[in-house]
Each structure stands twice: as C-alpha cells, then as structure tokens.
Amino acid sequence: MDLISIIIVISGIIALLFAGYLILKIRKESPGSEKMQEISKAIHEGATAFLYSENKILVIFVSAVTIILLAVSFIPNSNMHWGTALAFIIGAILSILSGNIGMRIATLSNARTAEGAKTSINKGLSVAFSSGAVMGICVVGLGVLGVFGMFLFFSEILHYAVNVTTNILFGFGFGASSVALFARVGGGIYTKSADVGADLVGKVEENIPEDDPRNPAVIADLVGDNVGDVAGMGADLYESYVESIIAPMALAAIAGGIALQTYGSNAIILPLTIAAIGIFSSIIGTFFVRTGKKSNVYSAMRNGLFASTILVGIFAGVATWYLLDGNMGPYFAILAGLIAGIVIGLNTEYFASEKQKPVKAIAEAAKTGPATVIIQGLVSGMMSTLIPVLSVVVAMIISYYFAEFYGVAIAAVGMLSVLGISLATDCYGPVADNAAGIAEMSGMGHEVRERAEALDAVGNTTAAMGKGFAIGSAAITALALISSFIVSLTIHYTPEQILDFLSLGSSTSPYLVAGIFIGAMLPFIFIALTMGAVGRAAFSMVEEVRYQFKELKLLTDPDAKPDYKRCVSISTKRALREMIVPGLLAVLSPVIVGVVFGFLGPKGSGIAALGGLLIGSIATGFLLAIFLANAGGAWDNAKKYIEAGNLGGKGSPAHKATVIGDTVGDPCKDTSGPSLNILIKLMSVVTLVFLPIFVMFG
Amino acid sequence: MDLISIIIVISGIIALLFAGYLILKIRKESPGSEKMQEISKAIHEGATAFLYSENKILVIFVSAVTIILLAVSFIPNSNMHWGTALAFIIGAILSILSGNIGMRIATLSNARTAEGAKTSINKGLSVAFSSGAVMGICVVGLGVLGVFGMFLFFSEILHYAVNVTTNILFGFGFGASSVALFARVGGGIYTKSADVGADLVGKVEENIPEDDPRNPAVIADLVGDNVGDVAGMGADLYESYVESIIAPMALAAIAGGIALQTYGSNAIILPLTIAAIGIFSSIIGTFFVRTGKKSNVYSAMRNGLFASTILVGIFAGVATWYLLDGNMGPYFAILAGLIAGIVIGLNTEYFASEKQKPVKAIAEAAKTGPATVIIQGLVSGMMSTLIPVLSVVVAMIISYYFAEFYGVAIAAVGMLSVLGISLATDCYGPVADNAAGIAEMSGMGHEVRERAEALDAVGNTTAAMGKGFAIGSAAITALALISSFIVSLTIHYTPEQILDFLSLGSSTSPYLVAGIFIGAMLPFIFIALTMGAVGRAAFSMVEEVRYQFKELKLLTDPDAKPDYKRCVSISTKRALREMIVPGLLAVLSPVIVGVVFGFLGPKGSGIAALGGLLIGSIATGFLLAIFLANAGGAWDNAKKYIEAGNLGGKGSPAHKATVIGDTVGDPCKDTSGPSLNILIKLMSVVTLVFLPIFVMFG
C-alpha cells in the first residue's frame, strides 16, 4: 500500500478507536439513581425494539433488491456487475450499523447527562457532546473504511479496472441510501406521532407538564428522539458522506473522461484523502469544544467546528497539491463546498434563533392569534431559502469553473469533510432532550431540570444548524451524483448524443421538461405522504393516551401506572407501516420514469426524462427541505421565546398560539423536511445504479 | 380582408355587443332599497378609488418601461423594434380596461343580485352570472381584437414582415402581463388585508357576525372582493389569453421554422381563429346556463362550460382542416390542451368540495384542534398537485408529438379558448359574495341572506374550479412562451449552438442548473413577500378597527357610525405600497439573471441561465400555486362544512379550529397563489422581449 492508502486506512481506524475511547469515558460516568436507570432502560428497550422491527423489514427489502440486482447483472449486455449487489448489501449493513451505534450510545448517555447536570451544566454538556461525537466520528470512520474497503477489494484483490470498481461503488451508496430512507421516514414518523400524541392529550387537554411520568406516551416520545433524531440523522448523513466520496471517484475513473486526462489517476483517490483529513480535523476539533467555559457552551461548539473547517481548508490544499502535481483547480472547488456548508448552517441558525428578527416576528404575530403565527412562519420559512440557494449556485459555478463536473462532485466532499464534528454538535441535542425528560420523570428537582433544559436549548440551536448542514450537503451531494450521471452517459453514448438528449432545444425537450415537472412534484407528494402518516399515527396515539387516562385513572388514582409499552408499540407499528409507501415511491419513481419515457419517446427520451427528474427533484426538494426545517425551527423557538417570559410568558394567549405553531412545525422539521434529503439523493443513486437498464430502453 | 380575418374581427365585435346587451339587461333590474344602493355605491367608490390610485402608479411604470424599450430599440443592432414599445402601451391599456370593466359591472350587479334573491335564488343567480359573463366575454373580445388589431396594423398598414410583426406582439403581452401583475398582487393584498383585519377584530375578538355594518372594515372587505377577485382575476386571464395566442403566432412566423415549413403561413392565423371559435362557443354556452333549474344551478354552469368545450372541440377541427390543408397535428394539440384544462379544473373542484374526502378529513382533524387542521390542509394541498402536473405533462408530450413546439404553444390556445364562459362562472362568485354582504348590511332579513349565502356557496365551488383553470392555463401559457423562446433563439444562433447552450451535458450546464435553482426559488420568495405584505397590511387594519371600536363606541352607542373610508384608505395605501417590490422582482429577475450570467460565463451562459430560470420558475410556481389554492380552498370549505351543522356546528371548538385554518388559507388562495400565475408568465415574456439584449451579452 502506498502512503496515501495507509493514511486513509489509519484515519478510519483512529476514528473507531477514538469513538471507543469516548464510549469508555461515558461508561465511567455515574448512570444516576435507580429510577433514572429504569427510565433510561425503558427508553433503550423501546428504541432497540423499534430498530429491531425496522431491521426485519429492511432485511426483506435488501434481499429483494439484491436479488433484482443480481438478476439484472446476469442479463447479457446489461452492463451491471454482480459486485453492485455485494456493495449494496455492505452499504446497507454499514448504514444500519451507523444508526444503531448512535442510538445505543445516545441511550447510554441520556441518564448520565442528567446525572452530570446535577454537578454542573458543563459536566452535563461534556457527556452529551461526547455521545454526539461518538456518533459523528463513527459515521465518518465507517464511511471511509467502507468505501475504501470496497474499492480495495474489487481493484486490488479481484483486479477489476478502476472505472468498473467505482461504478460498483454506487451499489454501496444505494444500499446506504435505501436504509437511510426507511430510517429517516420511519424514525421521523415515530418521533412525531409520539410527540404530538403526548402533547395534544397531556399538555393541551389535561394540562400536565411536558415529560410528566403519568403520561403514557412519554417513554415513546423519548424513544422517538433516539430513533428519529439520532438513528435517522446518522443514517442520512452516512449516506450523504459516502455518496459524496463515491461520486467524484467514479467521475474521475471514467476512461476518456476529462478529470482523468487532466488530473491523472490520483484524482480517484483525492476524495478519500480529503475525507481522511476531515476525520483528523474533526477529532482535533472536538478538543476545542472541551475547553469551552460554562458561560459559552454554544460558542465552544462553534469554535470546534470552525477549527476543523480551517484545518481541512489548509490540509486539503496540501493533499491536492501533492496528489494532483500542483494542479489546484479541485482545491478551490473543495473550498467552495466547505464555505457554502458553513454559510447554509449560519443562515439556518439565523432563521431559527430567538435573538433574531424572524423568530421575534413570529412571536409578535402571536398577539393576533395562531393564524398569524402560521402565516408568519410560512413567510420566514420561504424567505430563508434565498441564501442557501445562492450559496449552492455560487459553489457550483465556482467548482465547475475550476474543475468542471469533477469540481462539482468534489465540492460535496469539501462540504461533508467536517461531518465528524458537525454531526457531533447535532446529535448532542437529542441526548440533552432525553436528559431533560429523565430529570423531570425521576423527580430530580427544579435545578437539575432547569440545567438540563438549558442544555436542551443549546441543542435546539445546534440542531437547527445541523439540519441546515444536512440539507445543504444533501443538495450538493445530489448535484455530485447528477454530475456523475451526466459523465457516466459517455460510456453509452457519443458526446453529441448526450448533448442532444439533455437539451431543452432538441426533440427530447418535452421529455426533459416532463422530467423536471414530475421531479419537482415528487417532494410535494412525499411531504403529503409523510406528513399525513404522522397525522394518522398521532391520531392512534391520541386515542390510546386518552383511553389510558380514562380507564386507568392515571390522573386521579396515585397508585395507577401508565402502560408505556402499549404506546411504544403503537408508534412502532404505525411508523413501520407508514414508511413503506414513501420508501417505494422514492425507489420506484426513477425506474418508472426512466423506463416508461424511454419506451414512449424517441431515442434518448428516457435519459432526458431522468435528467429532468433528478434536477427537478433536487431543486424543489432542496427548497422545501429548507422551508420546512426553518419554518419548523422558527415556530419551535418562537414558543420558547415566549416561554422565556416575553409577550406574556407561559400560559398567555400568545403562548397558546405559538404552541399551535410548534405542533404544526413538528412534522415539518422532524419528519417531512429531513426525509427530502434522502429522497433527492436516493433517486439520483438509483438512476446511476440502473443506468445500464435505462440505456437498454432508449 | 379574407374570410378568416372577417370571422376573427366579427367574433371580437359580437363579444363586445353581447357584453353590452348583458349590461343593459342587468341595468334594467331593480337596484334595491335606498340603503342597498348606498352600500353598493360605497363599494363602487372604494373600488374605483383604488383602481384610480393603482392606475396612477401604473402610468409611471408603463412610461418608464416604454422609454426603456424605445431607448433599446435605438441601440444599433439591438434587434428591438420601436413597435414593441407601442404594443406594450396598447397591451397595458387593454389590460387595465379589462379589469376596470369587470369591476364596474360587478359593483353594478351586487345590489341587484341581492334584490333578485328576494324573488328567488334563480333570479339572483341570473344577475350574478350575467355580470360574470360580461367580464368573461369582454376579456376574450378585447383579447382577440387587441392582438389581431396590432397584427393588422404592423403587417397590413406598415407592411412589416410577419415574423417582425409577431415578435412585436410580445411587447403587447408584456404590457398586459406587467399590468396584470400589479393588479393581481395589489388587489390580492388589498382584499386579504381587509378580510383578515375585519375578521380578526370583528368575528374573533368582538364576536359580531360577518359583514356586520358596525364593523368599520366591512366596506373595505367588500371592495376587496371586487379589486382582487374580479379586477385581478380579469387582468390575469386577459394576460394568459393574449399570450397564449401570441406565442404560437410568433413561433409559426419564424422564417425557416419547422411550423412554417410544415403548415404554411396559415399556421400564424390559426390561434386567432381558434380564439374566435371559442368566443362564439362561449356565447352559446351562456345560454345553456340560463336553462338551469333552481335545483341544480351549479350543474347548469358546468353544463354551459362543457357545451362550449364540445363546440370548440368540433369547430377547431374544422378550422384546422380548412386552414392547414387537412394537416391535423395541431388539432390534437388543441384537444390535449382543452382536456387538460377541464381535468385540472375538476381536480381543484374535488380537493375543494365539501362533499369529498379531502375537505372532510380537514374537518375531522378539527376535532384535535387548529394544529391538525393546518397539517391536514398542507397534506391535501400538496397531494392535489399530482393530477395537474401529470395533466400538463401528458398534454405537453402529446402536443409535441403531433406538432412539436408549435403544438405545445397552440395547446395553450386550446385550453384558453373557452375562457369566455369559464371566466363567467368564476367572476360570478365575488358578485354573489358582495350580494350576501349587502343583504346582511342592509338588514334584508334572514331568508334573503340565506339565499344570497347559498349563491355564495356555489360561487366558492366555481371559484375553486376557476382558480384551477387559471393556474393550469398560466402553466401551459408559460410553456408556450418557453417554446417561443427556444424557437426564437434560431434567429440569433445556429441549431448546434442552441442545443449546446440549453443542454445539461455541455459546458453551460452549471448555468442552466443555476437558472433552474434560482427560478425554482423565486416563487418561494414571491410568496414570502406577498404573504408578508398581507400580514403587515392586515396588522394596520386590525389596529384601525380596534381603535374605531373603542374610540367611536361602535358596539355600545347605537348612534355611532363607523368610518368606513379610513379603512378603505388603509387597504388602498398599503396594497399599493406593498405591490412594488414583488412587482419589480418579477420584471427584473430575468433581466439580472440573463445579463449577469451572460457576462460571467462562457458564450451562451446567459441563455442557458434564462432557459433554466423559466423552466424552474414554471415548475415550482405551478406546483406552489396549486398547493396554495387547493389548501386555501379546502380550509375555507372545511369551515363551511362545520358551519353547515357538522361536527358540532358554528361556535364549537372544531369550528374555531377551522376558522384559524381559513384565516391561514386566505392569503394563500387569494393573494400569493394567484400572483404566481403572473410571475411565471411575466418572467417568460420579459425574457422574450429582451432576448435581443441578452444575446448581446452572450
């Protein structure tokens, strides 16, 4: 192995070792009183049970797709390799693993964070952040090792040509992607049906506080934080991460491609090298967070992120210079991606921050009731799309200017290189949220509860930034995959044909436009399906909670015990049932569009429709994801702003109006919005994997 | 003049004569009691004052643009003709006229409709529908006469070549379009700020009924129906109508274009011929409405629309056969457009009908409060995009299959040919709404009020269908304009260059993608601006109404008189101030994108970005317009469904929840949604008018 390969492997191993070290450190912390351990155990069991049931469904799905992939690979001239099926399975397994590790460590840390908060806010922060860091570092470690492992296996052991190998890697991305979709959608439906169900009956109808142990849905709600915000987010970003690495690799490996001619074969290994640099930088960045003083825990986290960003900015330059013989074009693309990621994150933070105008405007609107709260939230959510879109557009144009399609693809690597630490700050949130719940349920007293809530509040801001980052990276990863799609066409068609198929000015133009229209529509349908699913699942939960309150006399009989497990089981069953249709929609849409339009129109119509489908879905998927995340975050924080004592404080009519806004925002920001990230990437990678089939249909 | 020209001119003249006959008929009806006349007069004065102030601003805007167009036409090699400036002015004037006529006749008919309802529902219907018919028939008459007049002026009197003449006609479209934008946005802000302001203080805070004469904003609210729903809608559809006619004319006139070669020069006159057939069919269709029995007023209107559609379907075939020597390709495109329009209308009706699942589901959701009402409305609004998108896609592909880009352009003519009657059923609604208000305010008693409300309820369904039709026709007209844009490029570039510029696979690809992203974003920003404007304007109104209630003791002192004029003046001022920014955004966006990207990138980047901008904005503009219209309509009717006595009826918690939904839906369906129709057409026509300039920048 050469030096670079060794560095890449070491980065992955160090990531896993560092995560192991953090786990040991967390384990050493006191898990708190017996009561706390009991609650934590119930959460852990609920989460594990959900993931177990989910995985059973995933096994069926993964097996079915594997059989299809293998079957296709045996069709003569299908151009699909059996390795794609193998890579698909590995990708799916590693994605499941990422989500599971994150969930396990989060349920390990929640009670310990609450117990830590007994000592000081900073102690609680340290435990919660370590838990997030395990997740972040594991995801990047497994990402680099997974992609590089598959690459070595096919190219070094089986001696396949690099372009065949990198093409097989899309199977890996497909595996990661499809698992991520189910994890995101299922987890998102789970968490919000439990949350809405618990709140509507407990807080609104019965007037008992959040996380009150008498509420039978409270454990399901806490489980939801783990399966949705942790496991779902982990799988989502694992997918973005590996696909952003695979796309430029595949692009660079295409024989006769411009990237290979300009930069040489090292361009294939550059993305993994940048990822390795990102891992080291992220680990170093976590130490910056540790030095944070009590007074500014949040800016400590931000410092950690900025430190990592600067380190990547420097060493990515060195690596590019070394690997590409001083040809620095792709480096500028990496920088563009890196900066765009930060800008999108800051934009999200601005729109979700209680200190800024948008959230305050929503709180002000609460004076005239819930309707104006909703309208104002829609307004600021829509307005918040401006900066992210311009950032992505500028990053894309700069990247293309410096390194054509390879530049666009590697810009995504730049953006995602700091994932290790940005995911850490993001996954910190649900752990703090759980800790606050455990503090309330186990009766740890006012002070601990307040500290835990302070940690949770910081978590909301970091989560907002994390969400912005997840959306931005999904969009730029999807653009990277589209770039691969366009360049991959050179394997099957002449340059003139490609130009013709994908042009608004040619005879396939109506198919391109049809693809754009259908692609632009799919995110709307996807939102309708997932949001409707939350509504239906929450309705079942409301009925169950109402029934238990009444039949078990939970609020009147002090000896009554709520049946948490029934609520957990309702969330589990409904989430799993409701995730099937949106999941299949995402996987099947490109297949149907590619085959039907290819069959209907003149030669190239299917390709045109697919190109349109992808770009249309990315455009509106990106916009709607930002809109939903920022509107949802702003509604949430407008409520918190009033709860902090402004405009009449808790219990005032203005507060009630913002509670309604928050309830509307919940499925927006935690179910439908995040699911769109996967939709746009999954459709792109499905298109890439099945491209050989689409080519056969014209 | 040849036979066809004579038929076209006669159709326009007959339309105006028929409208005149209807006006005389309406005038003959009794205007009701003195009190009713007084209210009607106040509404008329408010509406006239608003349109007068609006027109003053429009004169400034039109003059400025005219000067710019003239200045550009004097730049050597700019390829812009001075006639464009003249056509622009005429287009603007005719558009203003369309809106004004509609508004005048609507304010003439409102009291007469209420008075008619004293006799019977059917009598009231007859007056209100006649008023709508005047508007519909005037719009198509002025449309055909305007376009054909300009065409004759330049080609017959000044003897310009037809391709120069038709190109000048885009100036006419631009004039109609820019006036329509201000009318739609200004009228939309006016109507909803008054409505929301009146409801929030009157119905919610003070618990007085809708249209209570003690509410100082009630006249402003009634004025709003006229300036928004009538004048705005009229200008909007006048624009769609003339642009749908101009686009295929221009396309057919391009020297060396495929349409000219295949179908000969008669293809230029075919769109106007179809429009003339549509006028005759619409007039005949109105007689079908008259025969409607009392029991099924609504299906009578639908019968009228279907009758006109069938007539156009038959005679368009005859005309195509006659003009194109038996070459029936374009006829199938016309049929595809016609059918797509009907399907989109029916889809909107389904999603807004109280008898169907979507509205009932929202009403059911009201049982768990306003948050679930909002969520369910978002779900059904998003789901409602499916059928319209597929309809447009199928119509586009069929049209292109049969007659290439000319087919896509003439499909829009097919869809809009029945505008005369579909606009009649649509503009009937606001008149019925006004009549119900006048009945309430003048104390005409329970029975008349109920009848007027029954008329209003039918108006809501027809308005929903009309809105669907307006959106669908805007999308297909915009596609027609894009087709013209693509074909117009042949004047400046070689076919290879056009293919290259507009391809995802070429070096201008990032600019095309950037254009798509920015285009897809603009409707979001546009919604944020217009919805925010309603919020701000409504807030001023709320303050004024609260102030008057308190200071003038309106609810306690029986002699107190509300100051309606102050409310009218607030709506007027705020609407006019708030319409400027969104208006300029729409006009300037294509200019900025075309020039900046053209300047920045390689040759063709500006063209690529413009192509992307247009297609991106049409895709999301279309989707968001359907979403907003249908979510808004469904919220409105869910409230009405409960008010009809279901789920607890008026005053129940479920009713209160749906009132909140309705308030959120108001700016969605009556301000932001409809404005998007103009945005997408206006950006396309601006691109076409300034194409010579963009070409100069590369």
pLDDT mean values, one per 10 residues, chain A (698 residues): 92 97 94 91 91 90 94 84 95 93 92 90 87 94 97 93 89 94 91 87 82 88 88 90 95 84 92 97 88 62 89 96 94 96 91 91 93 96 97 96 94 94 87 89 86 80 81 92 92 91 93 97 97 90 90 86 89 89 92 94 94 97 96 93 91 92 93 92 94 84
Task: Give A196→chain B minimum CA distance, Å.
Answer: 10
Note which residues in 381-420 of chain B have CB less than 8 A from chain A.
382-383, 385-386, 389-390, 392-393, 396-397, 400-401, 404-405, 408
**pLDDT at A256 (0 to 100):** 73
One-letter identity of residue A288: F
Question: What's the average model confidence in pLDDT over B467-480?
Answer: 90
A396 touches A408 (CB < 8 A): yes
Q: What one-character-per-residue DSSP string does A194-246 give?
A: HHHHHIIIIIIIS-PPTT-TT-TTHHHHHHHIIIIIIIIHHHHHHHHHHHHHH
Average pLDDT over residues B369-374: 93
Q: Which residues of A touch B542 (CB under 8 A)?
A: 368
Tell me the nearest-neighbour CA distance from A383 into chain B, angstroms.
5
Lookup result for tokens 């006399």? A553
| Nearest CB to A382 within list B510, B524, B538 | B524
Residues of B in contact with A501 (CB under 8 A): 505
Residue for token pair 């070689």: B494
Please, which residues 461-480 of chain B have a Cβ atom closer than 8 Å to chain A? Answer: 479
> Over A43-92, what HEC string results?
HHHHHHHHHHHHHHHHHHHHHHHHHHHHHHHHCCCCCCCHHHHHHHHHHH
Tens digit of pLDDT for each residue in B58-109? 999 999 999 999 998 988 877 788 999 999 999 999 999 998 999 999 999 9
Q: Of B372, B405, B667, which has the smallest distance from its Cβ to A375's Cβ?
A: B667
User: What is the interface pTM, i.e. ipTM, of the complex?
Assistant: 0.95
pLDDT of residue A420: 93
- pLDDT tens figures, B155-164: 999 999 888 8
Q: Could you tell me the end-to-end alpha-carbon distance of chain A, in angstroms, rounded to an integer?
A: 42
- Contact A619/B619, CB-based, under 8 Å? yes
Q: Which residues contact A315 (CB under 8 A, 6 or more apart)?
A: A277, A280, A281
User: How far is it, in rounded angstroms, from Cα B384 to Cα B377?
Assistant: 10
Tell me whether residues B623 and A524 touch, CB distance under 8 A.
yes
Identity at B83, one-letter amino acid code: G
Q: Which residues contact B178 (CB under 8 A, 6 or more apart)?
A: B61, B62, B65, B92, B583, B587, B682
Give the C-alpha separation, A403 to A257, whole Å: 12
- The identity of residue B317, as a single letter, is G
B344 touching chain A per CB within 8 A? no
CB-CB contact of A244 with A481 (8 Å): no
Distance CA A388, CA A621 (A): 13
Query: Cα–Cα–Cα angle for A676, A677, A678, nearest 5°?
Result: 90
User: Does the distance separating the beta carbons of A525 and B386 come in below 8 Å?
Assistant: yes
Q: Which of A221, A205, A217 is nearest to B369 (CA)?
A: A205
pLDDT of residue B291: 45
Q: A626 near A384, Cβ under 8 Å? A: yes
Q: Does B319 touch chain A (CB under 8 A)?
A: no
Between chains, do A375 and B664 touch, taking CB under 8 Å as contact?
Answer: yes
- Count how many pairs of residues, chain A against chain B, have C-beta atoms within 8 Å: 237
| Contact assessment for residue B191 and residue B671, using Cβ atoms and an 8 Å cutoff | yes
Q: Kindly report which listed range (A14-18, A434-438, B351-355, B449-453) carries the lowest average pLDDT score.
A: B449-453
CB contact under 8 A, B527 and A499: no
| List of chain A residues whose C-beta atoms are within 8 Å of the C-beta of residue B396 | 510, 513-514
Mean pLDDT value across residues B242-264: 89
CA atoms within 13 A on the CB side of A527: 38
Residues A382, B535: C-beta atoms closer than 8 Å: no
The per-residue pLDDT for A293 is 52
Gyration radius from chain B CA atoms:
24
Q: How far apart are CA B689 and CA B591, in angstroms?
A: 10
Give the mutation candidate from B195, B347, B378 for the A interface (greatest A CB count, under 10 A).
B378
Q: Supply the DSSP symbol for B226.
A: I
Tokens of A155: 């190219």
In tens, the pLDDT along B184-237 reads: 899 999 999 898 888 888 877 888 888 888 899 999 998 998 898 888 888 888
- B529-547 average pLDDT score: 91
Residues A107, A43: contact at Cβ < 8 Å? yes
Alpha-carbon distance B506 to nearest alpha carbon in chain A (angstroms): 6
The Cα–Cα gap between A629 and B136 comes to 42
**Bigger pLDDT: B269 or B79?**
B269
Three-state SS string over B16-76 comes to HHHHHHHHHHHHHCCCCCHHHHHHHHHHHHHHHHHHHHHHHHHHHHHHHHHHHHHHHHHCC
Q: Tokens 């730029």 sit at which residue?
A: A476
Say yes or no for a CB contact (<8 Å) between B374 and A667.
no
Q: What b/e string do you get for A597-609 counting C-beta neighbours within 10 Å, with b at 16 or more? A: bbebbeebbbbbb
Of A375, A499, A627, the CB nearest to B505: A499
Nearest to B98 by CA among B226, B279, B232, B191: B232
Q: How many CB atoms lie within 10 A of CB B538?
A: 30
Task: Give A474's Cβ-side CA count (13 Å radius).
Answer: 36
**What is the nearest CA distance from A669 to chain B, expressed in angstroms?**
13
Burial class (CB in 10 A: 0-12, 13-18, 19+), A541: buried
Neighbours of A645 (CB within 10 A): 9
pLDDT at residue number B684: 95
SS3 for B503? strand
Torsion-angle region of A256 (φ positive above 0: left; ψ -120 to 50: alpha; else: beta): left
Q: Say if A376 is an interface residue toward chain B (CB within 8 Å).
A: yes
- Joined together, the tokens standing for residue B194 give 């008054």
Question: Does residue A592 sit at the B interface (CB-CB below 8 Å)?
Answer: no
Q: Hey, are the CB atoms on A498 and B505 less than 8 Å from each other?
A: yes
User: At residue B332, does pLDDT exceed 50?
Assistant: yes
Q: What is the pLDDT of residue A337?
A: 95
A619 touches chain B (CB under 8 A): yes
Residue B698 is predicted with a pLDDT of 67
Residue-wise DSSP of B400-419: HHHHHHHHHHHHHHHHHTTH
| C-alpha distance from A493 to closest chain B C-alpha (Å) | 12
CA-to-CA distance for A102 and A22, rounded, in angstroms? Answer: 12
Question: Which positions in chain B touch A517 (Cβ < 8 Å)?
Answer: 389, 392-393, 619, 622
For A644-688, the DSSP string reads TTGGG-TTSHHHHHHHHHHHHHHHIIIIIHHHHHHHHHHHHHHHH
H/E stretch holding B284 reads helix B266-290
Helix, strand, coil share (%) of chain A residues, nearest 5? 85, 0, 15
Of A372, A501, A510, the CB nearest to B400: A510
Residue contact B518–A368, C-beta within 8 A = no
Cβ–Cβ gap A368/B200 under 8 Å: yes
B451-468 burial: b if 16+ Cβ within 10 Å, else e: bbbbbbbbbbbbbbbbbb
Q: Whose structure tokens read 């990315």?
A: A618
- pTM, full prediction: 0.95
Contact call for residues A489 and A476 (beta carbons, < 8 A):
no
Alpha carbon distance B646, B650 (integer Å):
9
- Between CA B332 and CA B313 the distance in angstroms is 10
Calculate how close chain B gets to A401, using CA atoms only, in Å.
Answer: 9
Chain B contact for A365, CB < 8 A? yes
For residue A663, the chain B residues in CB contact (below 8 A) are 369, 371-372, 375
Integer Cα distance of A593 and A519 in angstroms: 10
Of B372, B506, B514, the CB nearest to A393: B514
From the list B196, B370, B506, the residue facing A370 with the nearest CB is B370
Helix, strand, coil percent values for chain B (each to nearest 5): 85, 0, 15
pLDDT tier, B296 (very low <50, low <70, confident <90, very high otherwise): low
Q: Which of B382, B521, B667 has its CB closest to that of A525? A: B382
pLDDT of residue A511: 96
Asked whether the beta carbons of residue A498 and residue B517 sit closer than 8 angstroms, the reply is no
Per the prediction, chain B carries an average pLDDT of 91
pLDDT confidence of residue B384: 97
DSSP letters for B625-658: HHHHHHHHHHHHHHHHHHHTTGGG-TTSHHHHHH
Q: Are B19 and B136 in contact (CB under 8 A)?
A: no
Output the six-digit token pair for A283. 């680990």
| CB nearest B392 (choices: A405, A517, A539) | A517
Tell me what the mean pLDDT of segment B534-559 comes to.
88
CA A212 vs CA A462, B41, B282: distances in Å: 26, 60, 65
Record: contact A486-B509, CB cut-off 8 A: yes
B205: nearest CA in chain A?
A: A368
Q: What is the mean pLDDT of residues B472-483?
A: 93
**Alpha-carbon gap, residue B218 to B567, rounded angstroms:** 9
Residue of B nearest to A367 (CA): B539
